Chain A
Amino acid sequence: MDDKQDEPQAEEGYESRLEIKLHDDLPHNFVCFELIGRLDIFTYRDLSKAIMDTCHERKGITVLVDLSAVSFVASSGWSVFVATRTRLKSGGGRVALCGLSEELMRVYEAMHMPKLVPSFGSRQEAREALADVAP
Protein backbone atom coordinates (compact mmCIF):
# COMPACT_ATOMS: atom_id res chain seq x y z
CA MET A 1 0.00 0.00 0.00
CA ASP A 2 1.29 3.45 -0.83
CA ASP A 3 1.61 5.39 2.42
CA LYS A 4 1.70 8.65 0.48
CA GLN A 5 -2.01 8.31 -0.28
CA ASP A 6 -2.80 9.36 3.28
CA GLU A 7 -0.30 12.20 3.44
CA PRO A 8 -1.49 15.79 3.21
CA GLN A 9 -0.62 17.10 -0.23
CA ALA A 10 0.06 20.61 -1.46
CA GLU A 11 -2.12 21.48 -4.44
CA GLU A 12 -0.71 21.07 -7.91
CA GLY A 13 0.78 24.35 -9.05
CA TYR A 14 0.69 25.68 -5.53
CA GLU A 15 3.77 27.74 -4.74
CA SER A 16 6.34 25.68 -2.91
CA ARG A 17 6.22 26.38 0.81
CA LEU A 18 9.82 25.43 1.47
CA GLU A 19 13.01 25.96 -0.49
CA ILE A 20 16.04 23.95 0.61
CA LYS A 21 19.55 25.09 -0.33
CA LEU A 22 22.45 22.81 0.42
CA HIS A 23 25.92 24.13 1.25
CA ASP A 24 28.28 21.18 1.47
CA ASP A 25 31.76 21.75 2.80
CA LEU A 26 33.09 18.28 2.07
CA PRO A 27 36.68 18.65 3.38
CA HIS A 28 35.37 19.59 6.78
CA ASN A 29 32.44 17.17 6.72
CA PHE A 30 30.13 20.07 7.47
CA VAL A 31 26.85 20.62 5.64
CA CYS A 32 24.40 23.45 5.98
CA PHE A 33 20.77 23.30 4.87
CA GLU A 34 19.49 26.81 4.32
CA LEU A 35 15.69 26.81 4.47
CA ILE A 36 13.36 29.42 3.06
CA GLY A 37 9.64 29.32 3.79
CA ARG A 38 7.64 27.16 6.18
CA LEU A 39 8.56 23.84 7.73
CA ASP A 40 5.25 22.16 8.35
CA ILE A 41 3.17 19.07 7.74
CA PHE A 42 3.41 19.62 3.98
CA THR A 43 7.18 20.12 3.77
CA TYR A 44 8.93 18.27 6.58
CA ARG A 45 9.37 15.11 4.51
CA ASP A 46 11.28 17.09 1.86
CA LEU A 47 13.76 18.25 4.47
CA SER A 48 14.04 14.82 6.04
CA LYS A 49 14.78 13.27 2.63
CA ALA A 50 17.29 15.99 1.71
CA ILE A 51 19.19 15.45 4.96
CA MET A 52 19.19 11.69 4.65
CA ASP A 53 20.22 11.76 0.98
CA THR A 54 23.16 14.00 1.82
CA CYS A 55 24.27 12.52 5.10
CA HIS A 56 23.77 8.85 4.39
CA GLU A 57 26.89 6.92 5.45
CA ARG A 58 28.93 10.06 6.17
CA LYS A 59 30.46 9.34 9.55
CA GLY A 60 31.08 12.21 11.92
CA ILE A 61 29.15 14.69 9.81
CA THR A 62 27.95 18.00 11.25
CA VAL A 63 24.57 19.15 9.94
CA LEU A 64 23.59 22.76 10.47
CA VAL A 65 20.07 23.90 9.59
CA ASP A 66 19.77 27.63 8.97
CA LEU A 67 16.27 28.82 9.89
CA SER A 68 16.84 32.55 9.43
CA ALA A 69 14.41 32.65 6.48
CA VAL A 70 11.84 30.33 8.02
CA SER A 71 8.63 31.87 9.30
CA PHE A 72 7.13 28.83 10.98
CA VAL A 73 8.12 25.37 12.24
CA ALA A 74 5.37 22.91 13.17
CA SER A 75 5.94 19.93 15.44
CA SER A 76 6.48 17.82 12.32
CA GLY A 77 9.44 20.08 11.53
CA TRP A 78 10.91 19.87 15.02
CA SER A 79 10.60 16.09 14.79
CA VAL A 80 12.94 16.11 11.75
CA PHE A 81 15.70 17.73 13.80
CA VAL A 82 15.32 15.27 16.65
CA ALA A 83 15.15 12.28 14.30
CA THR A 84 18.24 13.53 12.47
CA ARG A 85 20.09 13.82 15.76
CA THR A 86 19.19 10.24 16.63
CA ARG A 87 20.21 8.90 13.21
CA LEU A 88 23.51 10.75 13.06
CA LYS A 89 24.55 10.06 16.61
CA SER A 90 25.43 6.42 16.00
CA GLY A 91 27.84 7.48 13.25
CA GLY A 92 29.42 10.17 15.40
CA GLY A 93 27.47 12.93 13.66
CA ARG A 94 25.48 15.82 15.06
CA VAL A 95 22.87 18.40 14.14
CA ALA A 96 22.49 22.05 15.14
CA LEU A 97 20.23 24.98 14.25
CA CYS A 98 20.91 28.64 13.67
CA GLY A 99 19.11 31.86 12.81
CA LEU A 100 15.92 31.29 14.81
CA SER A 101 13.64 34.31 15.01
CA GLU A 102 12.37 35.45 18.39
CA GLU A 103 9.08 33.62 17.81
CA LEU A 104 10.75 30.39 16.73
CA MET A 105 13.15 30.60 19.67
CA ARG A 106 10.21 30.82 22.05
CA VAL A 107 8.70 27.64 20.65
CA TYR A 108 12.12 25.92 20.49
CA GLU A 109 12.63 26.59 24.20
CA ALA A 110 9.06 25.77 25.16
CA MET A 111 9.42 22.36 23.53
CA HIS A 112 12.61 21.60 25.46
CA MET A 113 14.58 21.41 22.22
CA PRO A 114 17.78 22.96 23.66
CA LYS A 115 18.39 19.70 25.53
CA LEU A 116 18.42 17.83 22.23
CA VAL A 117 19.53 20.13 19.42
CA PRO A 118 21.78 23.15 20.05
CA SER A 119 21.04 26.50 18.47
CA PHE A 120 23.29 29.39 17.45
CA GLY A 121 22.66 32.94 16.38
CA SER A 122 24.20 32.70 12.93
CA ARG A 123 25.89 30.27 10.57
CA GLN A 124 29.26 31.80 11.33
CA GLU A 125 28.72 31.54 15.06
CA ALA A 126 27.65 27.92 14.71
CA ARG A 127 30.66 27.03 12.58
CA GLU A 128 33.06 28.56 15.07
CA ALA A 129 31.41 26.95 18.08
CA LEU A 130 31.10 23.53 16.48
CA ALA A 131 34.66 23.58 15.11
CA ASP A 132 35.95 23.75 18.66
CA VAL A 133 34.05 20.69 19.83
CA ALA A 134 34.31 17.22 18.30
CA PRO A 135 30.96 15.54 17.50
Chain B
Amino acid sequence: MKLLHIDVSEGLSSAKLDQLLEELRQLADAAGVVVRHRFVLCALMEEVATNIMEHAAAQWLEVSLQVDQGRPTLLVVDNGKPFDTGEAIVALAGATSNQANPADQRRLGLVMLRELSQSIVYERDPQDLNRLTVVLRPAMEEC
Protein backbone atom coordinates (compact mmCIF):
# COMPACT_ATOMS: atom_id res chain seq x y z
CA MET B 1 0.00 0.00 0.00
CA LYS B 2 1.84 3.04 -1.26
CA LEU B 3 1.17 6.48 0.09
CA LEU B 4 0.82 9.67 -1.95
CA HIS B 5 1.41 12.88 -0.10
CA ILE B 6 0.05 16.01 -1.79
CA ASP B 7 0.78 19.52 -0.55
CA VAL B 8 -2.31 21.66 -1.10
CA SER B 9 -1.35 24.54 1.16
CA GLU B 10 -1.59 26.87 -1.84
CA GLY B 11 -4.86 25.43 -3.04
CA LEU B 12 -5.83 22.71 -5.45
CA SER B 13 -4.79 23.82 -8.92
CA SER B 14 -5.69 21.98 -12.11
CA ALA B 15 -2.07 20.79 -12.46
CA LYS B 16 -2.01 19.58 -8.87
CA LEU B 17 -5.25 17.67 -9.39
CA ASP B 18 -3.89 16.13 -12.60
CA GLN B 19 -0.74 15.11 -10.75
CA LEU B 20 -2.78 13.49 -8.00
CA LEU B 21 -4.96 11.59 -10.48
CA GLU B 22 -1.96 10.48 -12.54
CA GLU B 23 -0.17 9.17 -9.46
CA LEU B 24 -3.33 7.39 -8.36
CA ARG B 25 -3.62 5.80 -11.82
CA GLN B 26 -0.03 4.58 -11.54
CA LEU B 27 -0.73 3.23 -8.08
CA ALA B 28 -3.83 1.44 -9.39
CA ASP B 29 -1.91 0.03 -12.37
CA ALA B 30 0.83 -1.29 -10.11
CA ALA B 31 -1.78 -2.91 -7.88
CA GLY B 32 -3.46 -4.60 -10.87
CA VAL B 33 -6.71 -2.64 -10.58
CA VAL B 34 -9.04 -3.25 -13.54
CA VAL B 35 -9.76 -0.43 -16.00
CA ARG B 36 -13.30 0.11 -14.80
CA HIS B 37 -12.16 0.52 -11.23
CA ARG B 38 -9.41 2.93 -12.30
CA PHE B 39 -11.98 5.27 -13.81
CA VAL B 40 -14.23 5.09 -10.76
CA LEU B 41 -11.25 5.60 -8.44
CA CYS B 42 -10.27 8.76 -10.27
CA ALA B 43 -13.87 10.03 -10.28
CA LEU B 44 -14.14 9.45 -6.54
CA MET B 45 -10.71 10.93 -5.86
CA GLU B 46 -11.61 14.10 -7.74
CA GLU B 47 -14.81 14.49 -5.70
CA VAL B 48 -13.03 13.87 -2.42
CA ALA B 49 -10.15 16.23 -3.25
CA THR B 50 -12.56 18.96 -4.36
CA ASN B 51 -14.57 18.57 -1.16
CA ILE B 52 -11.46 18.71 0.99
CA MET B 53 -10.30 21.90 -0.69
CA GLU B 54 -13.68 23.62 -0.70
CA HIS B 55 -14.84 22.73 2.78
CA ALA B 56 -11.92 21.53 4.89
CA ALA B 57 -9.22 24.07 3.94
CA ALA B 58 -6.56 21.38 4.35
CA GLN B 59 -2.81 21.95 3.99
CA TRP B 60 -2.09 18.47 2.78
CA LEU B 61 -3.74 15.21 1.97
CA GLU B 62 -2.48 11.65 1.80
CA VAL B 63 -3.89 8.95 -0.40
CA SER B 64 -3.31 5.24 -0.21
CA LEU B 65 -4.80 2.33 -2.07
CA GLN B 66 -5.31 -1.22 -0.91
CA VAL B 67 -6.62 -4.00 -3.12
CA ASP B 68 -8.24 -7.01 -1.52
CA GLN B 69 -9.40 -9.80 -3.86
CA GLY B 70 -9.62 -7.33 -6.72
CA ARG B 71 -11.65 -4.81 -4.76
CA PRO B 72 -9.89 -1.48 -4.19
CA THR B 73 -10.12 0.50 -0.99
CA LEU B 74 -9.15 4.15 -1.14
CA LEU B 75 -7.98 5.84 2.04
CA VAL B 76 -7.73 9.63 2.09
CA VAL B 77 -6.38 11.48 5.11
CA ASP B 78 -6.22 15.27 5.42
CA ASN B 79 -5.44 17.82 8.10
CA GLY B 80 -8.40 20.09 7.40
CA LYS B 81 -11.44 21.01 9.44
CA PRO B 82 -13.78 18.19 10.51
CA PHE B 83 -16.28 17.06 7.92
CA ASP B 84 -19.83 18.09 8.78
CA THR B 85 -21.55 14.71 8.70
CA GLY B 86 -24.89 16.21 9.76
CA GLU B 87 -24.86 18.53 6.76
CA ALA B 88 -23.99 15.62 4.49
CA ILE B 89 -26.85 13.53 5.83
CA VAL B 90 -29.27 16.39 5.21
CA ALA B 91 -27.88 16.89 1.71
CA LEU B 92 -28.18 13.20 0.90
CA ALA B 93 -31.67 12.99 2.39
CA GLY B 94 -32.54 15.84 0.03
CA ALA B 95 -31.57 13.65 -2.88
CA THR B 96 -34.99 12.04 -2.77
CA SER B 97 -36.90 15.15 -1.80
CA ASN B 98 -38.89 17.15 -4.32
CA GLN B 99 -37.76 20.33 -2.59
CA ALA B 100 -34.08 19.63 -3.08
CA ASN B 101 -32.26 21.73 -5.62
CA PRO B 102 -31.31 19.10 -8.18
CA ALA B 103 -28.44 21.23 -9.44
CA ASP B 104 -26.79 21.47 -6.04
CA GLN B 105 -23.21 20.60 -6.80
CA ARG B 106 -22.24 19.33 -3.36
CA ARG B 107 -25.29 17.12 -3.14
CA LEU B 108 -24.46 15.65 -6.54
CA GLY B 109 -20.90 15.07 -5.37
CA LEU B 110 -22.16 13.16 -2.35
CA VAL B 111 -24.57 11.18 -4.50
CA MET B 112 -21.69 10.34 -6.81
CA LEU B 113 -19.59 9.11 -3.89
CA ARG B 114 -22.42 7.05 -2.47
CA GLU B 115 -23.53 5.50 -5.74
CA LEU B 116 -20.09 4.62 -7.05
CA SER B 117 -18.85 2.98 -3.88
CA GLN B 118 -19.86 0.05 -1.77
CA SER B 119 -19.14 1.77 1.51
CA ILE B 120 -17.81 5.07 2.80
CA VAL B 121 -16.54 5.51 6.34
CA TYR B 122 -15.55 8.88 7.77
CA GLU B 123 -13.61 9.26 11.01
CA ARG B 124 -12.02 12.17 12.81
CA ASP B 125 -8.97 10.53 14.32
CA PRO B 126 -7.29 11.38 17.67
CA GLN B 127 -4.63 13.44 15.88
CA ASP B 128 -7.34 15.73 14.50
CA LEU B 129 -7.08 14.35 11.01
CA ASN B 130 -9.94 13.50 8.69
CA ARG B 131 -9.84 9.91 7.54
CA LEU B 132 -12.10 8.78 4.71
CA THR B 133 -12.21 5.13 3.65
CA VAL B 134 -13.99 4.31 0.42
CA VAL B 135 -14.49 0.70 -0.66
CA LEU B 136 -15.39 0.21 -4.30
CA ARG B 137 -17.95 -2.27 -5.51
CA PRO B 138 -16.64 -5.52 -7.07
CA ALA B 139 -15.78 -5.01 -10.72
CA MET B 140 -18.57 -7.25 -12.00
CA GLU B 141 -21.26 -5.57 -9.96
CA GLU B 142 -23.19 -2.74 -11.56
CA CYS B 143 -23.42 0.56 -9.74
Contact = CB atoms under 8 A, between A and B. Distances in A.
B103 A83 contact: yes
Interface residues of A, number: 28
A118 B53 CA distance: 32
Contacts of B46: 40-41, 72, 74
Given A40-B46, A74-B46, A78-B108, A10 B14 contact: yes
* Cβ-closest 8 pairs across A and B: A83-B103, A110-B143, A75-B109, A110-B115, A75-B108, A10-B14, A79-B105, A82-B103
Given A76-B109, A107-B116, A111-B111, 17 more contacts: A8-B14, A8-B53, A9-B11, A10-B14, A11-B15, A40-B46, A41-B50, A42-B14, A74-B43, A82-B108, A85-B102, A106-B40, A106-B142, A109-B143, A110-B143, A112-B115, A116-B102
Interface of B: 11-15, 17, 36, 39-40, 42-43, 46-47, 50, 53, 102-106, 108-109, 111-112, 115-116, 142-143
